[in-house]
Structure 1
Amino acid sequence: MDALLALLFPDRCVGCGHLGALFCPTCRAALRPYPLDDPPPGLDAMLVPWLYAGPLRQAIHRMKYRSQRRLAAPLGDLLAEALRRQPQPADAIIPVPLHATRLAERGFNQSSELAARIARATGLPLVSGLERCRDTGHQAQLGRRERHDNIAAAFVWNVYTPPPARVLLVDDVLTTGATLVACGDALRAVGTQEVRAVALARSLAPAQKMIQ
């Protein structure tokens, strides 16, 4: 049945519109690498493979804001490939949670969808228990300090069993890193020793970095 549906209604690439795949090989090949960067204080390591621009930005935007949940599959597989090239030692994978209000609005957590693909590819367990206990609203228009203040203490570990000692946090887009650091703070408060993070993409800080 799936094969028949694919024949009758073939996927169209969200980047270029060509038929055949949700995110085609041509658009994947056009991804621009994000320059190597140190993790923000509070994270032991950080992997952000690509710049938040072009076809990848379109794909992430459609996944999050146009409810194209299926895009999490090719995007999650891209992240899994990046992790194979640059492994991040961890005992488990934890997605950055959405607040219940935002989850109800969107219908799914894009970070959870990406994390599930990574877990399937790596064999690492996907662990739940991290909760966003406060609705922080949209942070897109906030500055660095405002983001930090807005997200502080917004996460808690909500189960009785302690979290894994080494955690790999998964998010879709990294901006200042404030959200990931706040997640790490909540995990360290209840026993996690190492917190690494991976995100699909990050925007360049204006006039601070150049792609070589």
Structure 2
Amino acid sequence: MAYSSVRVHLGGRNAMTLARLIDAFLSLVLPDRCAGCGRLGSVLCDECCRRLVGYDGDPPRVADQLTGVRIAYVFEGPLRHALHQLKYRRRRRVARPLGALLASYLRAHPLPCDALLPVPLHRERLAERGFNQAELLAREVAAGTGLPLIAGPLVRLRATKQQALLDVAGRIENVADAFMWRGPAPPARVVIVDDVLTTGATVNACAAALRAGGAREVYALALARSRGQAPLSHR
């Protein structure tokens, strides 16, 4: 399958090697503070990693466009702090250890997958933040698993409201028809990568666009979800 207009990163090894060299240089000049606890020494310290809690609640019911959903950790404690550092403090380097954790999870809990795709940001949000945290995580997952990463043709058509400000019904309405696949037919089995899954409305809307483009199986892989979230329901 050819992707002439699609950015395909076969594991992203060259880019990830360069990123790690830059990280190593910066760590010599500017000592790292842990994004989870603030301790000097690393971007995410071993103690904070040991405190992460695997997501072991009841598996959420699959939303109507998704074949399956996997969630690695509970969104609390050091992981919550680290993700906030990544998204709102714009500490891009935090994506490296978080993405490595997600890659390790996927290796231990594999999904049928021909390619990884990050949840896209609208161009206005991307310009404001400067990066897409889901794509940074997906690049690390690709590097850690050897799976291809496709970025580009799954686009966000409009700038939606922040999902965190809405209830379940509002979240579903907010992202309905907000995504489109623009490019050659996607692979048959794709995994959508995101940072935090709440109701699943966003990944479900992405899955609808991928299915419309020709994908047969669409899975969601999220780094975290809060305890006590209501199960994903059929629309």
From 97, 104, 116, give the equivalent of 2:139: 116
| TM-score (structure 2 length as normaliser) | 0.84
Give per-residue Cα distances to partners, 1:139-180, cap 9 Å, x unaligned: 102111110011100000112x11111001000000100000
Query: Partner residue of 1:157?
Result: 181
What is the Cα deviation at residue 104 of structure 1? 0.3
Matched with 1:37 is 59
Deviations 1:14-66 (A, max 9, x none): 21222221111110110122224133332111111111111100100110011
**SS state of the match for residue 224, structure 2?**
strand
Mapping for residues 126-165 of structure 1, pairs under 5 Å: 126-128=149-151, 129-159=153-183, 161-165=184-188
Deviations 1:56-85 (A, max 9, x none): 001001100111011010000000000011
Could you tell me which residue of structure 2 aligns to residue 6 of structure 1?
Answer: 27
Bigger relative contact order, structure 1 or 2, given CA contacts below 8 A and separation 6+?
A: 2
The amino acid across from 1:32 in the alignment is V
Runs of 5+ unmatched residues, structure 1: none
Equivalences for 1:81-96 in 2 at 5 Å? 81-96=104-119
Task: Verify the 8 A CA contact 2:75 2:226 in the aligned structure 1.
Answer: yes
Give the aligned partner of residue 99 of structure 2: 76
Change (3 A) 1:197 1:5: closer
1:8 Cα deviation (Å)? 4.3
For 2:158, give the aligned amino acid: R
Asked whether 1:181 is paired with 2:214, we answer no
**TM-score, normalization by structure 1:** 0.92
CA distance in 2, matches of 1:207, 1:42: 18
Q: Cα distance 1:99–1:207, how it changes in 2: closer, same or farther (>3 A)? A: closer
Q: Number of residues paired by the alignment? A: 207
User: 1:110-132 CA deviation, whole Å, 9 max, x = no partner?
Assistant: 00000001111111111121000
Task: Indicate conservation of the 8 Å contact 2:119/2:194, yes or no.
Answer: yes
Kindly report the root-mean-square deviation, in angstroms, between the aligned alpha carbons of the 2 structures: 1.7
